[in-house]
Structure 1
Amino acid sequence: MSETSETSETSDASEKHEPREPLRVGLLGYGLAGSVFHAPLIAATDGLVLDTVSTANPERQAQARAEHPRVRTVATPDEVLDRAADLDLIVVATPNKTHVPLATAALEAGLPVVVDKPLAATAAEADKLATLAEERGLLLSVFQNRRWDNDFRTVRKLVEEGTLGEVWRFESRFERWRPQPKGGWRESGDPAELGGLLYDLGSHLVDQALTLFGPVVSVYAESDIRRPGAEADDDTFLALTHANGVRSHLWMSATAALLGPRFRVLGNQAGYTKHGLDPQEAALREGRRPGAESAEGRESGESGESGKWGVEPKTRWGRLGAGASPRMGGGEPVPTLPGDYPAYYAAIARALREGGAPPVTAGEAAAALRVLEAAKRSAAEGRTVALG
């Protein structure tokens, strides 16, 4: 999710080495994903050090050095991989089309890898990467940070504790009002770029649905290009039927003049509705960092803007009830669990030191990609697609 970069395949794998303390991280890309998400979270994680950043853009190199004074900057991913013996982890935060070749090169260099979502264009490519990582005995994970959104953590707790009873329907939205396309590779119509909302926001929405309710047996999708000048899908809907009978309805749109609830979850005992977005992305974009909360916020714990990391005010809590309208004040407010993006890299560091599965596996990414591929086929053919 940053500047375009190219790489040549690494011909010979480096000697596998044991992780040291602290673990040294090479970050490929310093665009939105690299600078806003990965670098700050890596720097905030005990036991991880941001060692090297690659970006061909001189301004981004200067930005990286200003934000992380001890970091080394280089122009290409190859220059990072040339130092494989001095590193313990590679993070791929480059444009979607480069994820597979860069992850492959890093694994062949003998390094564990974290890849920003989506891992690949297809489930087959994801499976191939997973096989390579397994053969090399290396960690391969996908950065699905939205599993640690405050609202999703709250929904997951309600579902797992049985508060809603048997869940029948799960509604989830990432909607925006952006009537003018921004351009760039994320909105490119070139299939090689993997642009459009299905692979961007849809990667998160599908991952969350699978995390909550398990495998999907059928997919129906509607996908449109609505805005003048747009090249890739900017208004997409998915209807998923899970093997356990739950139906997930997922919306992703840049054309929503009025935004729907972020979540609406309906069970046979109660329902839960939540509006608004997790505060962590906004905080990261504004330069705030985990662990650097204000003293006032630590005392009150009331504000997601000035208080504890990932905490939102009571006025934004979702509501739980049955036969009531949340918009009319019905239902009971449910405290939103704090958002916890730092938990992802803490789990990565733990997996590298102690072994075990990473917080998000390549197999889970492949399962989500099968749904996304089925959605593309469904939208193109106007039919429901069955998954085996």
Structure 2
Amino acid sequence: MADSLNVALVGYGYAGKTFHAPLIAGIPGMSLAAIVSSSRDKVAADWPQVAVHADVATVLADPAIGLVVIATPNDTHFDLARRALDAGKHVVVDKPFTVTVAEARELEAIARKAGRVLSVFHNRRWDADFLTLKTLIDTGKLGDVVQFESHFDRFRPQVRQRWREADVPGAGLWYDLGPHIVDQALQLFGKPDAVFADFNRRRDGALATDYFHVLLRYPKTRVILHGSVLVPGGSPRFVVHGTAASFIKHGLDVQEDQLKAGRQPGCKGWGIDDQHGVRYVGNADAPHVEPVATLPGDYRHYYAGVRDAIVEGSPNPVPAAEAILVMEVIELAIRAAAERRELALP
């Protein structure tokens, strides 16, 4: 590959520091050229060779920057992405795409008119457990799936002073973890017929949603998406029942913990989850129990796909249209919970 694609990362909070910066830097043909952050010393300590700017306008005006990655608070995604597209840049937006469906559709229209690649960082399509489950479903090892449960539970009993838990647009657990598991469900089963949801603030002093239970209704399949910050004992990540077998998997994908520990993407053991799932076949009283080795996960495939989409015109790994459907489910679930009834997806 000839010249590297110069990338500017906007935002150096948890997502920018933990996910985007190391993944971008680990992709051949990509160069982490600039980071926009008010925490200059923090960035310089991690990336001394990367230019640090306090104002996004600086990188938007730089003709050497080809791709801008938005990893800032959710309610800033729309404006920053719009400005980057207007400046002629290709754009990656961290999930959730935007705070509203209307904003997401507007960004897609701007990108299409500008002829720019606009992609959304739904990295958990490359989780080890999800890739394993998708393979089981695609190869018919479970039969026809009739019930799918996806849990993203944690134990964080104390409310923290941060924007994700504040009373601001785009905050709360549904906007934080919901996009991950909604996107995975849509990848497996497509667009649902209807959505039912229950949200709550369960911790003392909670200002934003810290519990969600969402049901996606399909003609024969029921998809349950569940998240809570008050699950001290843990829960299965996936519980899937099909006409031929069931599959249960505990534990989260390891890549986030590997990145937090400072391990380089692609290092020995990268994306390898030793906590395998179990496939149950036959009678529920005495099933045949079969361990299912977990396939390796690798978030690098996302950014390699973005690079190829920009440089070679290859398919966008997560096009805006797919992220818009995620936002439609996110937004409809909020309405369904407020109205306490099931709502059909348009």
TM-score, length basis structure 1: 0.86
Superposed CA RMSD in Å reads: 1.7
Which whole-Å deviations, capped at 9, do the CAs of 1:66-108 have from their partners, x for residues lacking one? 322321001121122121x111100000100110000000000
- Residue matched to 2:106: 128
Task: Report the equivalent of 1:218.
Answer: 194
1:310 to 246, 271, 276: 271
Distance in structure 2 (CA, Å) of the matches to 1:251 and 1:195: 17
Counterpart check, 1:187 vs 2:165: yes
For this pair of structures, how many residues does the alignment match? 346
Task: Specify which of 24, 33, 37 is matched with residue 51 of structure 1.
Answer: 33
> Conserved in 2, the CA contact under 8 Å of 1:325 and 1:331?
no
Residue 7 of structure 1 corresponds to which residue in structure 2?
none
> 1:312 Cα shift?
2.0
1:174 corresponds in structure 2 to 152
Deviates more, 1:356-365 or 1:336-345: 356-365
1:348 equivalent to 2:306? Answer: yes
Moved more, 251-260 or 217-226: 251-260
The one-letter code matched in structure 1 to 2:277 is G
Report the Cα distance in structure 2 between the residues aligned to 1:310 and 1:75, rounded to whole angstroms: 34
Structure 1 residue 344, shift from structure 2 partner: 0.6
Q: Is the 8 A contact 2:195 2:329 kept in 1?
A: yes
Which residue of structure 2 aligns with residue 257 of structure 1? 232
Contact 1:122 1:366 in 2 (8 A): no
Q: Distance in 2 between matches of 1:235 and 1:323?
A: 34
Give yes or no for contact 1:112–1:140 (8 Å, CA) kept in 2.
Answer: yes
Does 1:74 pair with 2:35? no
Aligned to 1:30: 12
Aligned to 1:231: 207
Q: 1:379 is matched with which residue: 337, 343, 346?
A: 337
Q: Which string of whole-angstrom CA distances, capped at 9 and with x for unpartnered residues, describes residues 9-34 of structure 1?
A: xxxxxxxxxx9711000000011011
- Per-residue Cα deviation, 1:315-354 (whole angstroms, up to 9, x for no partner): x10001125789x996111010011111110111111111
Q: Where in structure 2 are there 5+ consecutive unaligned residues?
A: none
Q: Taking structure 1 as reference, are residues 215 and 65 closer, same or farther at Cα in structure 2, changes over 3 Å only?
A: same
Instruction: Report the Cα distance in structure 1 between the residues aligned to 2:251 and 2:7, rounded to whole angstroms.
Output: 33
Distance 1:346 1:69 in 2: 24
Deviation at 1:63, TM superposition (A): 2.9
1:287-325, CA deviations, whole angstroms, 9 ceiling, x for partnerless residues? 0011333xxxxxxxxxxxxxx210122xx1000112578
Gaps of 5+ in 1: 1-18, 294-307
Which residue of the other structure, out of 190, 198, 204, is the alignment partner of 2:174? 198
CA distance in 1, matches of 2:330, 2:199: 12
**Residue 281 (structure 1) aligned to one of 245, 253, 256:** 256
Q: Amino acid of the residue matched to residue 27 of structure 1? A: L
8 Å contact from structure 1 (residues 127, 366) kept in 2: yes
Going from structure 1 to structure 2, the CA distance change for 1:54 and 1:20 (only over 3 Å counts) comes to farther
SS of 2:147's partner is strand
3-state SS of 1:198 partner: helix
Helix, strand or coil for the counterpart of 1:94? coil
- Does structure 1 conserve the Cα–Cα contact (< 8 Å) formed by 2:280 and 2:287? no
Q: 1:20 to 1:98 in 2, by over 3 A?
A: farther
- C-alpha distance 318-169 of structure 1, shift in aligned 2 (>3 A): same
Q: Which stretch shifts more, 277-286 or 74-83?
A: 74-83
Distance in 2 of aligned mates of 1:142 and 1:209: 16
User: Which secondary structure does the structure 1 equivalent of 2:175 belong to?
Assistant: coil
Normalised to the residue count of structure 2, the TM-score between the two structures is 0.96
Separation (CA, whole Å) in 2 of partners of 1:375 and 1:336: 31
CA–CA distance in 1 between the matches of 2:229 and 2:283?
30
**Alignment correspondent of 1:160:** 138
Q: What pairs with 1:92-107 in structure 2 (closer than 5 Å)? A: 92-107=70-85
> 1:123 Cα deviation (Å)?
1.5
Give the equivalent residue in structure 1 for 2:244. Answer: 269
Q: 1:20 to 1:111 in 2, by over 3 A?
A: farther
What residue identity is the alignment partner of 1:62? D
